[in-house]
Structure 1
Amino acid sequence: MDLFEQIAGAPRNLLPYDGNVYYYGHVLTQSDADHYYKALLNNVAWSHDRAIIFGKEIITKRKVAWYAQQPFSYTYSNTTKTALPWTKELLKLKEIIEHKSGEHYNSCLLNLYHDGSEGMAWHSDAERDLKKNGAIGSLSLGAERKFAFKHKKSRDTVSKVLNHGSLLVMKDATQTHWLHRLPPTKTICAPRINLTFRMIIES
């Protein structure tokens, strides 16, 4: 956190225009981040992600899990997932993220990247199930990875290294105007867990 953020008491917007992305830095102590990382790694119901691309089913190396306050159905990449009930660790982390961000969330999509070879291609989180222009609170645990944004029209890019135990919040028109990705890298050998707390709108 730089001097400006310390004085203002709030993080800066990482995007130059057409959206709001705030990086809060560490929101967990080192010991708490280590604790939750190990707990989630061992206790979450991880499964390989599936996507339907041009009519063909693709199974990813990375694993995912979907939890919420009720069994919401969430559709992305032409596949539908049904949420599992909150675990005690996820409820506590949701409370921390809501307090830090001032937002409310009713669900969480988790991603497990086993090493730097696994990433995420350019995309935006604008599925019909999500609250339009709602906040997405992204908590990072484990290996530090670079996270990048690209404007859909200007192609301007912004990137930030996300630390173990840190929080990044995307909100407002970000998903409308910007793509984001987790680029693969050969230099990272350790796993990373990413929790994206979201607001699902009931049908």
Structure 2
Amino acid sequence: MLAAVARGGRPFTAAQVIAESRRFKGGFDRPLLARGEILNPVTGEIVTDCLSLSKALDVLRERHGIDTTVRKLITMLGRKKLVEFRLAWRMVPMATDPTARKPEYRHEAIATRTAMDDGLLISIDYGRNGEKWVRTLATPDGLAFLAGLLKAPAGAVKKPKARDTVRAFLAGGRTQAEIVQLSGMSKQVVSYHAKSISNL
């Protein structure tokens, strides 16, 4: 408003607003980013087409038939030292008294410096109204890395499910006690599956 008064009451033109915006943002030490571009804070490169870990798993499920959960993926990435865990919290209303607030805790998986250095994962801050959360994203290179990490090696044989094992033994005329001895499964598991198979 003061700028308009200083200019004699005339409004800014669109070109002047854009030029002023660029001049203002030029004072920052990071480049202007378009929608969908993310700055890797370690390497300084701008990355596009990043996906959250859940979206990355959806893509891998479609392309390669990889079936796992985000929790298992994050645990695997933690073992590979590509993510580290940080305790985060926020204040939420209590169920008994909505005016009172209590902390809600959660563990956030944050990309390590090594993962960002290699260009596999990037962590970004997001949130509104003063809340800060961290989301870890997989870059296109990271997506290819995850596909290689999660693919079963060629010739790998999947372990049969307990239900199928019990069904095969029952079809062979074995008793539940023999199935427990031969398979190493607990009595409860064998009994549960034997009952569910007999109800079919």
Same fold per TM (> 0.5)? no
Q: Which has the higher strand share?
A: 1
TM-score when normalising by structure 1: 0.21
The structure richer in helix per residue is: 2
Query: Which structure has the larger Rg over C-alpha atoms?
Result: 2
Larger relative contact order (C-alpha < 8 A, sep ≥ 6)?
Answer: 1
